[in-house]
Amino acid sequence: MSDVGRRSFLQAAGSVGLISALRGHANAQIAHETVSPAAQKAPEHSINFAVIGLDHYHIMGMTAAVQRGGGKLVSVYATSDKALADFRARFGDVKLARSEDEILNDPSIQLVAAAPIPDQRAPLGIRVMHHGKDYLSDKPAITTLEQLADVRKAIQETGQIFAIMYSERLEVKAAVKAGELVQAGAIGRVVQTVNLAPHKVNDISRPDWFWDPVRYGGILCDIGSHQADQFVYYTGSKTAQVTASQIANFNHPQHPAFQDFGDMMLHGEGGAGYVRVDWFTPDGLGTWGDGRLFILGTDGYIELRKYVDIAGRHGGNHLFIVDSKSARYMDCNNVVLPFGPQFVTDIVNRTHNAQDQEQALLAAELVLTAQKNAIRLRFAS
């Protein structure tokens, strides 16, 4: 506003109505649009895949993504009757394998998708690759730097794909749209990403391994995996390092080894990154977490409210973009998720378009390093 316009605006608003007037003025400047639905193409390829491990229900989304890409689910191996029943309730009466080896030794299976306890994921993936199959793991796919070295060695030896389902980017429509905008140069060159990733504990439903950082890798390794992936992807970094990291257990004295807060700073040749992760989502939110992403560019910025907009917009997949011309809101719920079809095509063609193999492992290396070197914060209760 001009000086005269600003004075008139403030006089009209008055001291009591200033905040609401500012809000109304700001809203008047934001254009609203809904991303038009793209045509859903039929899968170009078909593969047979199996599932091993249902310890985290991320496996539901992973399985659905592969099916969208043309994957045919032929068998599952699980040791939990309840998890198996829930899995079959969604995907039908899929064949129960008698053992892991039954799947690994089946030559018709090209891919294994897996979500066992986190510290079991990398060793399973190595066995899968040495049996001539590609692997899709839930995150965190790797819980120690030693496991990471073993995974890299197995990839080199076998030529197989070790993919990681970083679902907060690959399976979130607003995040997909943000990637398209960044690639199109909509905000110029990316300078920094900021990720805020609160989660909800739900103590009663959590298994024992959830509280043990040896099993789940620690909070930066676990939740932070998603965020490091986004930093690497949106900044386009091929190399990156951890600037600083810290962890804490602020509010779970009954589980002294647990970590309910962590943050880290990252830097790479493509830009900088800041990540905060925690287990403090309050019951009043109505969903498991208000995940937010900020992408700062030289010519504008993007903000995502991935799962909820506490300002009142319905549902999730909210994207805000500001550039030199305007401020716009985009409803991204019609965006088509590309990972499943791209990943199946990669398996058939031996390409890496759905996920760059080195960037996937770089994200893992960043969080493992951040976790290992994190300062432990301690405060008086």
Distance CA 378, CA 199 (A): 21
Q: Which domain holds residue 183?
A: 169-338+370-377
Are residues 188 and 120 part of one domain?
no
Collapsing DSSP to helix, strand or coil, 79 comes out as coil
> Tokens representing 77?
């191996």
208 in a structural domain: yes
178 and 154 inside one domain: no
Q: Tell me, what CATH number does 209's domain have?
A: 3.30.360.10
Domain final position from 134, 165, 196:
165
Residues 211 and 323 in one domain: yes
Overall domain count for the chain = 2
CB 51 within 8 A of CB 122: no
Residue 347 lies in a domain: no
* Of 371, 322, 375, 313, residue with least CA distance to 118: 371
Measure Cα distances from 283 to 84, 148, 255, 280, 287 in Å.
Answer: 29, 36, 20, 9, 8
176 and 291 in a single domain? The answer is: yes
Judgement on whether residues 190 and 123 belong to the same structural domain of the protein: no
Burial class for 21, CB neighbours closer than 10 Å (0-12, 13-18, 19+): middle
Rounded Cα–Cα distance for residues 147 and 123 (Å): 7
* Phi–psi pair at 322, nearest 5 degrees: -125, 125
Same-domain status, 116 and 178: no
Give a yes or no: residue 23 inside a domain. Answer: no
Q: Is 112 part of any domain?
A: yes
Domain assignment present for residue 92? The answer is: yes
Asked whether residue 178 falls in the same domain as residue 310, the answer is yes
Helices 145-158 & 121-130 angle (0-180, nearest 10):
10
Radius of gyration of the chain (CA): 22
In tens digits, what is the pLDDT along the chain, a chain of 381 residues?
Answer: 444 454 554 454 454 454 444 445 545 568 899 998 877 788 999 999 999 999 999 999 999 999 999 999 999 999 999 999 999 999 999 999 999 999 999 999 999 999 999 999 999 999 999 999 999 999 999 999 999 999 999 999 999 999 999 999 999 999 999 999 999 999 999 999 999 999 999 877 899 999 999 999 999 999 999 999 999 999 999 999 999 999 999 999 999 999 999 999 999 999 999 999 999 999 999 899 999 999 999 999 999 999 999 988 999 999 999 999 999 999 999 999 999 999 999 999 999 999 999 999 999 999 999 999 999 999 876
CATH number at residue 144: 3.40.50.720
Judgement on whether residues 177 and 269 belong to the same structural domain of the protein = yes
Same domain, yes or no: 185 and 257: yes
Single residue among 135, 165, 195 that ends a domain in this structure: 165
The tokens describing 31, both together, are 């254009």
Question: Are 277 and 290 within 8 A, CB to CB?
Answer: no
Say how far apart CA 379 and CA 69 lie, in whole Å.
49
Residue 358 is assigned to a structural domain of this protein: no
Domain end position, chosen among 109, 133, 165: 165
Q: Are 111 and 66 in contact (CB under 8 A)?
A: yes
- Inside any domain, residue 36: no
131 lies in the same domain as 193: no
Q: State how far the Cα of 19 lies from the Cα of 27, in Å rounded to an integer.
A: 12
Nearest to 109 by CA among 132, 92, 79, 141: 132
Assess if residue 361 is contained within a domain.
Answer: no
* pTM of the model as a whole: 0.91
- Residues 182 and 325 occupy one common structural domain: yes
Instruction: Give the pLDDT confidence score for residue 27 in this predicted structure.
Output: 52
Indicate if 281 and 161 belong to the same structural domain: no
Residues paired with 316 in a beta bridge: none
Long-range contacts of 179-186 (CB under 8 A, 24+ apart): 179/233, 179/234, 181/302, 181/321, 182/234, 182/295, 182/297, 182/302, 186/297, 186/300, 186/302, 186/321, 186/323
Angle CA(117)–CA(257)–CA(284) in degrees, nearest 5?
Answer: 80
At 37 the pLDDT is 82
